[in-house]
Amino acid sequence: MNAPEKFFLPDLQNAPDQRELGIDRVGVRGIRYPITIAGSGGALQRCVATFDMFVALPKHLKGTHMSRFVELLEATERPVTLVNGLTMLQDMLVRLDAQDGCIEMRFTYFIRKVAPVSGVGSLLDYDVKLTAEIRGASRQMTLAVVVPVTSLCPCSKEISAYGAHNQRSHITLTLDILDKALTLEEVVALAEREASCEVFGLLKRPDEKFVTERAYDNPKFAEDLVRDVAKALIADERIGDFVVEAENFESIHNHSAYARITHFRDGAAGRDLA
């Protein structure tokens, strides 16, 4: 039997709801989609991101149009930057006729690093999350990035006749972006500068000697890491409210050392960024 050229399909999402309860977030989670990230100097990097996409649903509507979230990704052609996620979010709100919404994208970003002595190059991976959120008149673009570094224990160095224990650490930065000129590479470099030493994907023996001695000359507790990074973030006016966390994966214990600082530019407590 031939289907008619035009026929009516009921749209239950637009049906009224009688329960008088609005929904804070409704949408889709865990969509994996290829995107292009714009890095420092306009360099482009293709990767696969995982998206969570939500809108607020008024109490008088039964549901939202789930397919339109995927349609938005299909229509997105411009490379993603640290700030244009808000533009994508605005397009999403128009498509879904919503006032408030949020887009989160998680991906792995690679930065090419040069070893300190040999000059050999290698890629290092960083876990990144970008969050764009519009709620009423508030518009926020938030970056979260995990930066692996080396930390060396000041106490161990102080009490030992020779040597000191060190470990790989994660500095996690979660910050509101105020300036579109800020790059992911700059944020990573800020955290790496405040560690005992940065880490590299590839090192030759002269490089290993350099990073070992560099860490020994620059010992840091987890408390030192978060304080030094926070001080650098406060000095950068392109960055708004932020959270900085440090987790040291201890080499002489079967647990981690952890520290965290939350800072609000206006000096008052606000939303939980992390």
pLDDT in tens, 202-234: 999 999 999 999 999 999 999 999 999 999 999
Nearest of 186, 256, 254 to residue 221 by alpha carbon: 256
Residue type, 202: L
* Percentage of residues in the chain having pLDDT higher than 90: 70
Element (H, E) at 32: strand 23-38
- Whether the per-residue pLDDT at 78 is higher than 90: the answer is no
Least confident of 77-86, 156-165, 197-206: 77-86
pLDDT at 11: 67
- Whether the per-residue pLDDT at 119 is higher than 90: the answer is yes
Under 8 Å between Cβ of 149 and 171 = yes
pLDDT at 273: 63
- Whether the per-residue pLDDT at 192 is higher than 90: the answer is yes
Q: What phi and psi values does residue 220 have, to the nearest 5 degrees? A: -145, 130
- Of residues 24 and 119, more confidence is placed in 119
Question: pLDDT tens-digit profile of 238-251?
Answer: 999 999 999 999 99
Nearest of 205, 197, 194, 175 to residue 232 by alpha carbon: 194
β-partners of residue 23 are 57
Under 8 Å between Cβ of 83 and 136 = no
pLDDT at 250: 92
- Whether the per-residue pLDDT at 91 is higher than 60: the answer is yes
Strand 197-198, strand 256-263: pairing:
unpaired
Structural domains of the chain in order of their starting residue, each with its CATH number? 26-263 (3.10.270.10)
Q: What phi and psi values does residue 158 have, to the nearest 5 degrees? A: -70, -40
- Whether the per-residue pLDDT at 13 is higher than 80: the answer is no
